[in-house]
Amino acid sequence: MSTQTNIRGTDTCPAVSELANKRCRTKPPQPTWRERLAVTTDGLPRREIHSILFAVRGFYRDLAEWSHDEPVRWGSWVAPCPVARRESKLASKVKRQQKSRTQGRTRMLMPLLPALVAEAARRKDWSERLHAATLAAGPGEIFTVDGATFRRTEPRARPPRDVASELRAELVSPAPSGPAIRLQYGVVNVTQAESDGFWAWAIVDTLRHTGVRIEELLELTQLSLRHYTSQTTGTLVPLLHIVPSKTDAERLIPMSPELVTVLLAVQRRAKAGGAHVPLSVRYDPHERIHGEPFPHLFARRIGTRQEVISYAVVRRLLGELAADAGLSDAGQPIRFTPHDFRRLFTTEMVSSGLPLHIAATLLGHLNLDTTRGYTAVFPDEVIAAHQFFIERRRALRPFGELRPASGEEWDEFEQHFLLRKVALGDCHRPYGTPCVHEHACSRCRFLRVDPAQLPRIEEMTCNAEARLAEAQDRAWLGEVAALEESLKHLRQRRAEAENQLATAAGRIK
């Protein structure tokens, strides 16, 4: 009885005290709230903590203000804030570091973008040839595509009213230097390979030509394809209508010929031979709601339903495309995200001389500082020229930086694209730059030859050769040198047009 009294009382026995002290020594110390804040629930370092620190400082400040209004209720809860003011000031430094990392990533991805675009086009062409060869082969028949040998598998048994929805083939022998072939349960899902190849190409080209956000891309519908007739020239200008997303402000983006080609291919695929694009319902993962049925362009049939491509599928396609292209930096594999194309688009536009407020309008930014954060310019000369342009504009219009683009500026911007059409094709010189060759288009490196103008090139070559013969007979040495230079460029343009025709013929086959 005395032992129980000692244990429950203030004076415990030595054995119990020693056991309690041992347990206290062996118990691991609990992490503080700062230590728990520094890592995520997965144990990884948390990238951004200052928003939580701001919330903690705001909570303690609210308590101090409430105590002035109701001291009896809130006065006992007022305490010194555990987050010092100097810690919240570090947020600007962290933000600058994050901006530096983002711009460094943009500079790193810029030279890798052409390889990704080329791999997307190559993957699309290969998957189309594989699908056509599989469809032409009978069950169990062996066929070859680009050096790889396949055997079409027997379709699964289905009721008579149904047909096989997917083509599958067994990989007999891979090609030594062909594209990566992904297997599903030991066979190649040819239908999915062709679908992934097309959508990866369409997504990459649309993102890099528009700079839209991923949610804006997936919200594009048949109604988004608009056109505008210029009042000055009467030329039809195709426009892409972007519905309100992040800033709740719609906008129109002028479409280049390359973008028109891509979106028309997407529209034809969505129609699947019908007269209209079928309706589909898109799920918004941010709002967690299903939208109204619309004729979405970036949608595909899954089973019996027409479903809009999800964010996860877009990221998977971009990851597989980068892996197939073998993109790496310093030995580490590189992956493209949908937002990377937005930064690359902005950097390219601003570096080409496009005014910053027009770039902000095309991107849907409400603040010019946001657009500046997206740019990652390379050479010092371009940076200096851009800063000089901004300072000169501020001197001319001190309060005009945040205003929308005027009608005259939009006309000038539109006129630049209308003047790109020349006799031999399209001129792709940067916005706001003069013609460096004084409209001698055959010598310009910005000329993109139209294969339909091959007879005109032949005629110009014959005329130049006749003039060269005359100049040589009359010993006009200066004219001989000029005509020889012109002939060299004309032959080069003829070779470019012939290569384009051969490439187009190969795609049709």
Yes or no: say if 20 and 35 are a contact pair by the CB < 8 Å rule.
no
Provide, rounded to the nearest whole percent, the portion of the chain with pLDDT above 70: 83
**Quick count: other Cβ atoms within 10 Å of Cβ 52?**
13
Residue-by-residue DSSP string for 358-375:
HHHHHHT-S-HHHHHHH-
Give the model confidence (pLDDT) of 54-70 as tens digits: 888 889 999 999 999 89
- The full 3-state SS of 373-406, as one line of letters, equals HHCCCCCHHHHHHHHHHHHHHHHHCCCCCCCCCC
Q: How far is CA 466 from CA 460, 469, 473, 485, in A?
A: 10, 5, 11, 14
Q: Spell out the domain ranges in the chain.
A: 14-83, 113-154+165-333, 340-406, 421-508
**Quick count: other Cβ atoms within 10 Å of Cβ 289?**
9
CA-nearest of 201, 396, 192 to 302 is: 192
CA-nearest of 458, 483, 453 to 469 is: 483
Provide, rounded to the nearest whole percent, the portion of the chain with pLDDT above 90: 14
One-letter amino acid identity for 212? V
Q: Is the pLDDT of residue 13 over 60?
A: no
Confidence of residue 163 (pLDDT cuts 50, 70, 90): very low
One-letter amino acid identity for 193? A
CATH class of 113-154+165-333: mainly alpha
The helix (H) or strand (E) run that includes residue 170 is strand 168-173
**What is the token pair recorded at 206?**
């649309």
- Report pTM: 0.63
Q: Kindly give, in sequence order, each residue whose CB lies less than 8 Å from that of residue 48, ignoring residues fewer than 6 positions away.
A: 94
Q: Is the pLDDT of residue 356 over 60?
A: yes
Q: Please tell me whether residue 339 adopts helix, strand or coil conformation.
A: helix
Q: What is the reported pLDDT for 115?
A: 92
Give the model confidence (pLDDT) of 194-212 as tens digits: 999 999 999 999 999 998 8
Q: From edge to edge, which strands make up the β-sheet containing 236-242?
A: 225-229, 236-242, 251-254
Yes or no: say if 271 and 297 are a contact pair by the CB < 8 Å rule.
no
Confidence of residue 18 (pLDDT cuts 50, 70, 90): low
Q: What is the reported pLDDT for 10?
A: 42
**Quick count: other Cβ atoms within 10 Å of Cβ 274?**
8
DSSP-derived pairing of the beta strands 289-290 and 283-284? antiparallel
